[in-house]
């Protein structure tokens, strides 16, 4: 393992699993990685103010990150800010691929 991780920064090297680490690893399979959740949380206000949802939702729908029902639920909120907040609340629960798909959608605009 030392040879495989020799070129990686210390922050990206695997550590022996602890009880908390095992819980995060399981979350990584079902939910968004904690680092990605933190990035969304730190940028929440800026994102909620600035996201333009129409293309973003279509991209997330195409990538199977959200369902048609979720899109309708988000669009049912009154005002762009409330819609953006609803999406930001939903994203961390949409699996480990949700953050990358979200970032890709932002870059494709």
Identify each DSSP E strand in the chain by its residue range: none
SS3 85: helix
Contacts of 5 (CB under 8 A, 6+ apart): 12, 13, 14
Note the pLDDT of residue 61.
97
Residue 2 has pLDDT above 80, yes or no: no
Q: Which of 81, 83, 80, 64 is nearest to 72 (CA)?
A: 83
pTM: 0.72
Q: Which of 30, 46, 33 is nearest to 88 (CA)?
A: 46
Higher-confidence position of 83 and 25 = 83
Helix (H) or strand (E) holding 53: helix 53-62
Note the pLDDT of residue 6.
42
24-79 per-position pLDDT tens digit: 444 445 689 999 999 999 999 999 999 999 999 999 999 999 999 999 999 999 99
* Per-residue DSSP letter, 17: -
């Amino acid at each position: 393992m030392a040879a495989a991780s020799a070129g990686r920064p210390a922050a990206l090297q695997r550590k022996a699993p602890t009880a908390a680490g095992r819980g995060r690893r399981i979350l990584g399979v079902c939910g968004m990685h904690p680092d990605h959740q933190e990035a969304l949380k730190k940028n929440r206000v800026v994102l909620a103010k600035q996201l333009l949802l129409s293309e973003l939702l279509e991209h997330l729908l195409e990538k199977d990150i959200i369902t048609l029902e979720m899109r309708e639920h988000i669009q049912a909120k009154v005002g762009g800010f409330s819609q953006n907040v609803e999406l930001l609340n939903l994203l961390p629960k949409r699996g480990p691929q949700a953050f990358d798909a979200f970032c890709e959608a932002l870059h494709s605009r």
